[in-house]
Amino acid sequence: MIHYVALIHQDADGSYGVSFPDIPGVVTAGETIEEAEEEAAELLAYAIEESDSAIVLNPPRTLDELNKDPAFVAASKDAIVALIEFDADADAAE
């Protein structure tokens, strides 16, 4: 099982936005942290289910690798860092 690191930030309206350092431009959100994590997992699942998806899945870096990236360190300063499970074999099982 592959995991992508996600950054969860609380927005001004109280909802939670999710971004992926290894998938630039891909964001989602939820009203709670749990909902934000669920939405993030669904977004990754969508990326492999839809062949015409515009989402480009770069290989995920480890947290150790990300911590060497100054942009990640800055972005994660006030964020919850979460691992979002990504089943790369899900489309092969169907």
Three-state SS for 48-78 is HHCCCCCCCCCCCCCHHHHCCCHHHHHHHCC
pLDDT of residue 53: 65
For 24-70, how does the pLDDT look when each residue is reduced to its tens digit (9 = 90+)? 888 999 999 999 999 999 988 887 676 566 777 889 999 999 999 99
Domain range summary for the chain, segments of one domain joined by +: 2-89
How far is it, in rounded angstroms, from Cα 10 to Cα 6? 13
The three-class DSSP label of residue 92 is: helix
pTM of the model: 0.84
Please give the class, per CATH, of domain 2-89: alpha beta
Residues paired with 9 in a beta bridge: 17
